Amino acid sequence: MWFEITAALLLQLLVLLYVYLTYRYRYWLRHGVVYVKPSLLLGNLGSLLRMQCTSAHMIQAIYNYPEAEDQPFVGIYLFHRPALLLRDPELIKRVLTKDFPKFSNRFSNSDYFGDPLTSRNLFFLKNPYWKEIRFKLTPFFTSGKLKQMCSLIEEVGLNLNEYLLKMPLNSDNSFQLELKELCSLYTTDVIANVAFGIQANSFKYPNGEFRHNGREIFRFSTSRALNLGVVFFLPYLVPYLRPKVIPTKQTEFLRSTMNRILKEREKSGIKRHDLIDILIEFKNQTKNQPRQDDLKFEGDLLVAQAAIFFLAGFESTSTTMSFALYELAKHPEMQERLRKEICDTLNESRGEISQQIIESLEYMQMIIDETLRLYPPLPFLDRECSLPKGQSYSLEPFHSFSIPAGMPVYTPVYALHMDPKYFPQPHEFQPERFSLERKKLITPYTYMPFGLGPHACIGERFAMLQTKIGLLNFLRNHRVAMGEKSVKSIKLDPKALILQSQGGIHLSIIRDPLKY
């Protein structure tokens, strides 16, 4: 009896769920929008959640949906929730820049109480807090600050060069290394030194606290992949599933370390013109100001800004450097041209390194730009319609549909970079795309490795400076070649939300000093 009643109730619930989902999955049909057919329950996220492909390739497949070829956008479903994937550069420009106030927040979200250093940092904060903190942190990246940073970065670059020179050589004057980890040692030391005034000494202590904890945060397991999938695609489930971008142990490390540095710097009164100085000034300027909100510029809010600069600063740059070296190993003629440019520049400057000298390396800039086209650190940008509830954003003249408040909107960065309409032969590594003459011909809003508009990466110029100094010091005494463990083509890790090479990047490094 009870079994029959329970079975009948379950059947009714399943029928109701099916009817509900069927209705929800006709949302785009009702609004006359071309959409990618969803699967039951998972919508269009099935391949990502099953880790059959990366987020970059999932979104690229949606972008290339045959029926949407001539459409400015395509409808998708995040489980049962409708969302938009933008395809037209002019529409992308409207969302990211022209009408930014109406799309000022990211759709992604994190657990405010369980993941405080993620939810309070500049990447995840919502307006108006985001705008206020971004304004306060911008002075860290002025031209004057970057000029001061250059010598500090070069100190670490010389450590990278010295580390390589100490490596034992095989009979052919070479040695083998995994490049992603090597580049992470360099970028970890740069961020620790430039932003926090700490000597992490990662080359000497590759398992030191900074490098160990940074490595753990970007170690992508199945559970971590699912957590990040919730944060970026299903944030309304965050209060229930409590995913963490920064794990508990790493949160405690960053909190204790940053609080100690802040306390010591306040007590000593020493000025290094770094991020810590700006955070202390930030705190002092606002501690006596009455506020009508609950955002206090102290504690985890300050630590969160330091944490995001540490994490974003070392990971994205080390990834870009290692991908660039991989492509140079595959294209020795490009590598020789770049090394000649470095040699000529060092000859002219008599070995001196300055911001002006670094910025004069035109071919290196082209190499990095093309690397970022093939391997953008974050393969998509997420926004939500930030209008008040009940209002909507008209997509005229592109379409009669209006985006309702709260709807997620995605810009497919990787897919745009790989679209042959904008970048012919997109799978080929062609730095000449970014020569001074041809760069002007690139369709606006089709190339955005650091994002575009007011929400673009605040540290773009710093990342470029750090990457160039790292590559210069790597190539001044060494060149790279394909080795025994090198793969013919990069396979991206499906567990990693950001672009990472599965299994690392293994290359042969050959001792070959430039003569200058």
Nearest-angstrom CA–CA distance, 316 and 319: 5
- What is the distance, to the nearest Å, from the Cα of residue 63 to the centroid of all Cα atoms in its chain? 20
Instruction: Work out the burial of residue 513: count CB atoms within 10 Å of its CB; fewer than 13 is exposed, 13-18 middle, 19 or more buried.
Output: exposed
> Count of CB atoms within 10 A of residue 61's CB?
15
In DSSP notation, 28-50 reads HHHTT--BPPPBTTTBT-HHHHT
Hey, is 481 helix, strand or coil? strand
Beta-strand pair 81-86/73-78: antiparallel
DSSP H or E segment with residue 257: helix 248-268
Check whether 457 is labelled as a binding-site residue: yes
Compute φ and ψ for 69, nearest 5 degrees. Answer: -55, -40
Compute φ and ψ for 178, nearest 5 degrees. Answer: -90, 115
Nearest-angstrom CA–CA distance, 19 and 254: 48
Between the alpha carbon of residue 273 and those of residues 194, 196, 286, the distances in Å are 9, 10, 19
In DSSP notation, 64-76 reads T-GGGTT-SEEEE
In DSSP notation, 93-125 reads HIIIIITGGGG-B-S----TTTSHHHHTSTTTP
Q: Six-digit token pair at 367?
A: 């190499």
DSSP H or E segment with residue 489: none
Give the closest residue to 188 by CA, choosing from 165, 227, 162, 218. 218
Which residues make Cβ contacts (< 8 Å) with residue 363, sequence separation at least 6? 337, 338, 341, 431
Q: Which residues are annotated as a binding site for heme?
A: 457
Q: Which residues are annotated as a binding site?
A: 457
